[in-house]
Chains A and B, each alone.
Chain A
Amino acid sequence: MESLSDTLWDVVICGTGLQQSLLALSLSRSGKNILHIDPNEYYGGPDAAFSLQEAEAWVDRLADPSTANRGFRSASVTRPEGSTGLSFPRAYSIALSPQLIHSRSKLLSQLVSSRAYRQVEFLAVGSFFVFNPAPGPDQKPSLARIPSTREDIGFDTTIPLKGKRSLMKFLKFVQDYQSEASTEIWKPYADSPLTDFLQKHFKIDAQLQTYIIALTLSLDGKITTQDGLAILFRHLTSMGLFGLGFAAVYPKWGGISEIAQVACRAGAVGGAVYMLGTGIKTHESMGDELQLHLSNGETVKAKKLVRSSDSVGEPGISRLVAIVGSTLNGQFEALVEGAPQPAVSVIAFPSGSLHTSAGKVSEYPVHMTAHSSDTGECPVGQSILYLTTVATANSKELLKNALDAFLEAMDEDPRPQTLFELYYEQTKGAGESTKDGAIFNLPGPSLSPCFDDAVLDPVQEAWKEVLGEVDTEYMTFTDREGVTDEDEMYD
């Protein structure tokens, strides 16, 4: 077998997050020879999925300044006292950056055209809920399901007739928002908050505004009219695309992590060589080549290097993952006959709906996705909850309070038990890709609860950068499988 240092690699890719993995897939299948390495011992980088043991080891590494990873910080694991019922560590697959993928996302069409999709199992994302705090001291908080189709709105019993009419009018508008006539209407509001537009143009009341903002999954809840309409349009046009009653999907066994691994496998099928636990210590330019000194002591030569940008270290979001000993009945119901059973639901805690023990009200929304055991991320009989909010001085407490309030709202007796909690903060990455001679730096990961197609653009840009002007269609490949014609009979 050829040694690594004897080869002049077309591209060395460092990191196995989604972007790098898709790039490895596209380049290796376009005939380039690729060495794909990752300083971590696992695939996925910021998109990885961990067993409990791996999660605890990760937390320990983050606490150690010599192995700390600049993308994450302040991680801790809690196993609530007296809680029982946690299964063996490998029965869990905790996604570090779980994201929903809208059915109309370019990611799905690229996975299909590159033929990588068949190794991924996709599950339906079902209902979106809005959290309502307890109205009085002796009352319980509750969840209201957001109606997101016109039929849904028609059947909803909680929205007054006038609200229904304005909501229907707005949804109709969204579906046509790119037309010239509609653009003229929203353009003046483009950069102002979507709530202003809803209020002024559609006379939609504050309660219904929270529903619409919840559907956008906007991290700070202050999404602009222009961005909000784009996301709502994607949501509405995704509805029903792959089946009844759902607008988004989630990859089984840990979300994006699974796609990254499958893309790497496809890269390997195309000839890419894989090494984990190996990073780049230093590099230097030698004429047209790069010399890369790897952490395992080897030196390799490459024409190009693609890696991720250093995290800028600014506070980004706080995340809390909780494993609970309940199936959370009611969270994963198919709402239309013939629809697939959803494995994921979304719960939005609007700005102002939570408060700290000192009485400070939440400035930003908290988003939670509830995953059933169908995701393969926890054993049967349990569920896994992923909560995120903008990182602030109080975000950890607010996430805990959101978790408590949600379990309270479940109205189960006894109250579902938390078996394991993982808290961490994820910092913001660079916003754009950069080029430095033969080195291409991909931007940081998106922190949104739903997959952002913009993440795919720098990957295609890097692909073009390596291939130059070519006449090949991006990410379009034929099957690589061998089918034998004759049947075998064994009796």
Chain B
Amino acid sequence: MASDDDLPTIKVLLIGPSGAGKSALLTRYCDDEFDPESSAATIGIDFKIKRLVVRGKAYRLTLFDTAGQERFRTLSTSFYRGAHGVILVYDISSRASFLTMERWFDEAEANTAEGVALYLVGSKLDKAETGREVSSEEGQALAEAHGARFCEASAKTRANVRDVFVNVVDQVVQTPGLLSGRTRRAPGTVAVGSDEGGYGSGCSC
């Protein structure tokens, strides 16, 4: 059986202001968990890996959270490298969080390759009845202005969570040239870690 490393890897980032619910979406999607008490900034996890099969083909999906570096807007250019998709998350119950999205779009567009799949997500849909501060139409309009897809979701109720990730992955694999069938290692690069395949896997003799 082929190892995970041989699968084409899709790199998807979750960005957006602190407290928008990026990690909650990620945890709901990957582990089907939701912790209503957890509001701490995200630390501890580098990225989540999920193997998935789309249209009969297996992929290795890597999901990168901001590790708290969104707080003072210090995400590095290296964070964005090689991303195939970016999920931009704001909180529909916070006008302030929505108002930062233009800048997050700018940053994502400046640091990623052309054709990258952009997806705008209004999170905390469960608060739609009681605390909505951003209309769904506004979200839709912002997404359209940036050629992004849009939906509202709730990590608490699971509403639309899976759809977000599925649609991003689907868009990535459907965009010609975006994935270019590459596996984990780009051509010409060399392996320096002993657990990697490729040039470095043999002995040095």
Q: Could you tell me which A residues sit within 8 Å of B by CB distance? A: 1, 43, 90, 103, 108, 111-112, 115, 117-124, 240-244, 246, 249, 252-253, 258, 261-262, 264-266, 268-271, 273-276, 340-341, 343, 374, 479-484, 487-491
Contact = CB atoms under 8 A, between A and B. Distances in A.
B53 A484 contact: no
Contacts of B204: 240-241
Nearest to A28: B43
A261 B79 CA distance: 8
B95 interface: no
A88 to B, nearest CB: 11
A482 B71 contact: no
A483 B72 contact: no
A482 B45 contact: yes
Contact of A1 (B18, B54, B169): B18
Nearest to B191: A242
A269 B46 contact: yes
Contacts of A103: 192
A484 B46 contact: no
Interface residues of B, number: 50
A262 B64 CA distance: 13
B188 A274 contact: no
B45 A124 contact: no
- Which 5 residue pairs of A and B lie closest in terms of their CB atoms, listed nearest first? A243-B199, A261-B76, A261-B78, A268-B67, A488-B52
Provide the main secondary structure of the chain B interface.
Answer: loop
A491 B187 CA distance: 30
A242 B204 CA distance: 7
Interface string B111-123: 0000000000000
B69 A108 contact: no
B25 to A, nearest CB: 14
A333 to B, nearest CB: 13
A271 B44 contact: yes
Contact of B78 (A118, A242, A258, A271): A258
Contact of A243 (B47, B68, B200): B200
Contact of B68 (A108, A273, A483): A273
25 contacts: A108-B192, A111-B192, A112-B192, A118-B193, A120-B78, A122-B190, A123-B189, A243-B191, A243-B200, A249-B190, A252-B189, A253-B77, A261-B79, A265-B69, A265-B76, A269-B43, A271-B44, A274-B74, A340-B189, A482-B47, A483-B49, A487-B58, A490-B54, A490-B55, A491-B55
B177 interface: no
Contacts of A261: 76-79
Given A122-B189, A123-B190, A253-B78, A481 B72 contact: no
B76 A264 contact: yes
Interface in B149-194: 166, 169-170, 185-194
B199 A90 contact: no
A90 B81 CA distance: 13
B48 interface: yes
Q: Tell me which of B47, B69, B192 has the highest count of chain A C-beta atoms within 10 A of its own C-beta.
A: B192
Nearest to A118: B193
